[in-house]
Structure 1
């Protein structure tokens, strides 16, 4: 009894001790996870240290760059050609206007000194240096009246120089100290970061040692277990597989292991037994195949077509020598296999050919068939084959054999394809043409709602091609179009193709919005690279309109029209961009076209009118004037904002008569208000870029203003307009200034101007853009920036207007920062002319203007 229990327990104990390959792999993976976790922890610590060093350097670089720029400007206004030279020149020669030049240089130096101070919190040494420079500037300002008095009294030059001398040495020392402060800050930051780097090196050394030790232990265990549990059994499996390959099938393979390799060994034994039976059957069928081949040998040699015979019962296929020759093969290379023959059918036709074979076998109503398909020859070339076949069936109608012939029709197909290609492809670029695109879309859009949905068109138009074609000639233009077509084709994604519609218009066909947008971005980038045409380097870009078929487009022409509409919107918004078509876009284009058509009539019919937004003094809320704003009340579309019709007017040139209408209406209201109230009311009128750069228009406008002799009119121009061509803008604005018309810089802070340019222009008013005013908070970075703008404007003798004031808190902050005037919804929305007149009358009666 006890012996039997022990005998039964021994196999169970052996099974518990068996370690499978899965268990071994799990143990190895667990060890690797532990090592990777240690390495990840070390990497995280190192990454945090590196991020701390990077953040400290970024913060330093931002402050240092700003301080360096302000210090450079300060040094230029103090040094050669600045305060020192101008003051000495005034002492010695005292030319007319020299004092004003000294005062202007002092003002600019103070402004840059304040910019340096407000860039970041200054150290005690920096404050002493700033104070020393400010005291020197105060001393220069204090000496100016003494110099003028001495020159008026004809005092000797050397005495005057002695009595009015200013010691600039503290300023020189202060500038030296400020220069050195940036270097000292960098040195301190470098010492701190070196300490952080040393700590990270220690972490790396300790953590790397731990990880290396764990990897070593893991490697030793892996090598030992792999050799015992895997390599030794695998060697035995390889040896038995070699016996199997050599057909040494007499001795069985015995495996008693219970793991995966033992299961593989037992499977190998099953294969040995099956192969022994299979080889016996093969020998019998081989003899039958020899007999079959002999029957067809003479018939195959007597014809120019290839002959074939497919025994559906045995699966054997006979192919004549001529059929092998058609495929570029040696006789017998097909090996009597239908699948081997199918390898030479073109992959794009393989599925169709299989379906035709299957239909011929199953359809017992037709015992003959014919098919054409492309082949891929052994040389890699493509050909065409025409196959005729006859199906033999048994008494039950089941197909048992198929025989037939194959004819090479490659030349005939080549001629047909050449004619089709000429009709459906562009002669210049070789790309498909409009006819091909329309036919392709008609098929794609006619395959059912689900199948057609998602077809996308990218309509490309080259920006600036007309200029290249007209200036360099059509030959260069054609070569550029060929190069563009090739580059587009080189950057197509999978299942995409390109079409040239004509001229410089191309279409890329893809599927889905995501692929369309990715393709548009890819093509935009590709076309920005210059094209080398002969010895010239030509640059162009593309505007792209995208239309995606959602199943609602009526026909291919409609879908192409939608892409064209999107392209029009892309070119309308500045070119070199991509726009996606929507139904709202189509409606917007139609409305835009109507607005463009109706705008001229609207000016004549007085549908266009002005609103006036009050500009008030921040200290007491008193009215000082208005900004004239144009609106359009369309008889059918209702009130239309300037953001919709002003761009149309700019593009079509209608802004010129519209601008003249605004000017005359504003001047008429201004004269009436000043006459009725006796107040110095002002009205600001905006001058657009199209108006400003039209020389005859500006000339006519200046002549009219001179003849009118209006007082209180101010002209507003944007910062970006003046910076697009500073020298030309300076000449034009100077003529308004000479006429006595004050100038306002509108939307300050949104353009790309510099402080040095601001001092050159004859502006009287600086208007801070509402983006700086909205949500303005005390002691914020934006508040410090606004304070710097206000101080700089005041140093240059400009009044400051804050735009877009909507809350009492914004008004209070602007007042505290020294801003002079403001406008915005807090005070009033744009008012009709009668309501604006009421404001003027109240201001006159209250005396607050």
Structure 2
């Protein structure tokens, strides 16, 4: 590490000791003292640092005839030097000096910075240290030059201070001392410049901070505040300066509270946290406080820097964000996130005290029909009212939550017996079955409820929720508007369902799926030129698996599209063969799931065109509920079928909520009366009246009717007498393979 310079070197290379003040004459000492006094006075008075540097140069020029003084500083990269102050140096010379790179041949100033020591050159015209800028010396008649490094407070070389003479000479002891003092004072001025800039910046930060800032002395008496403090607290300078810092805090905090704060500041040099403050007008508000001590060199606290901000808006925003994250905006009930948090808490609490609890999973029956037929605003109003009814059925210690859509959950604390939960579930069913009066409209829904118990059924959140969900689906399968408690058999059924979903993925690939065909008979003639394609799964272990066991799983796993496309292509191949061999107008009906409609646009019409088949070769069977979901893809595909001549049949007609306007809009060709109306059909039953009404309506609308589930000759005769067009059921034939169907056609 370079030590402080203790010797200087003259032109001849001889070392000399630093200039001693006492080596000067009394006159020289007086002139130096006067020089120092004039410059330091400028520093103390806060004059501009550049003016101070120029003043030093001018005073030096007065003390040395036939010479000019200059100050050069290194740039930020410390690579080049530029003239900073040179009041008597020609501009043309300054231009040539700017950008000077320190080095052995860069003149007196370049060498002084390069070697970080004084450089005294008697003759610039032949001294090797001026070889790189010799022309400058010639152009401006600089014959000798003396330069001193200028250092910062830390001793770093930041530039040079020089005297350039128009005659050959070396500095006297007096001039050396002047250069030493001049470079030292210039260093002070430049250092003060940094300090002033930092002070100015600090004052601007202090004044313009959006946070309230106050400075207090060691006794916690306020000595200064900024503008933001006045805006936040209402106090002006004269009202608060000289008072204790507690003037801005609320009286709700006791003395112990503040003692802990000051103790923390003393021990840890910092404290921050939330405090209730008091406005000048008495209003209290939450504030975020920061306290930092300012210590003297001996470690004692001299001042306290305290800043704070009003966090009322932030607290409100946090509250809104918290509510949005934890509560349902429509019903005001806890949402899924809050429900799971409470269920976790309640399970731990129940386990600790040896109590039980019940979890109810509630799904509103037929809510979608209400939402679609009466509008989403009515549906929202129904959900809000349902939330109120659910809350009225339980205690304050219980939790009612909305998981999403029309799904609600309830935690019944302290309940471990099914009998206790049954009373509440029955009350819920009764409340939800009452009519909903929503503005000018009235709606009806029911509910399916699944219940599970802690700790009998499970001891963690995930399994309890699965149990309640399974029990709820069991209630739906039992006819809805009822409740069901979880049993171990339900878990087994779920496991079977999961295994089925896994095995179904390979069923299509391994050619385990096949089609059967059930004839659709023209009742007036007994002719057969239509059939419905029915899918079966030949499982390698379970044998024949019927659609009711796997189609819903295929829909849930999105395999229904691939399976549906396979069924369509198989049916197209078969209808092409039967049209060639038996009847050119033969048709095969294919069931199409709603999931297939909204998954993607099918290319069935293009496939028919590629096979050279007429669109009427295929009848697409859909459920009537599909017409309530006017999804864009549903509309496009139905209209596409209409334009291509593909006929459409409404399957299971009478079990849903069809709109007659939709039947006409999409040019529906067939209505298939659901088997539930046919099974009890006799000459005196109400079902006969309903069947006659459907047949008459369909004919009036230009549609034909197919009766499903015909099992007896009486049913066939009654349907024929009503004018029903076609019949389908085991009375005519059970579903059969293509080979057996061909035998039937031949007969």
Q: What TM-score do you get using the length of structure 2 for normalisation?
A: 0.44
More strand by share: 2
Q: What TM-score do you get using the length of structure 1 for normalisation?
A: 0.39
Q: Which has the higher contact order (CA 8 A, sep 6+)?
A: 1
More helix by share: 1
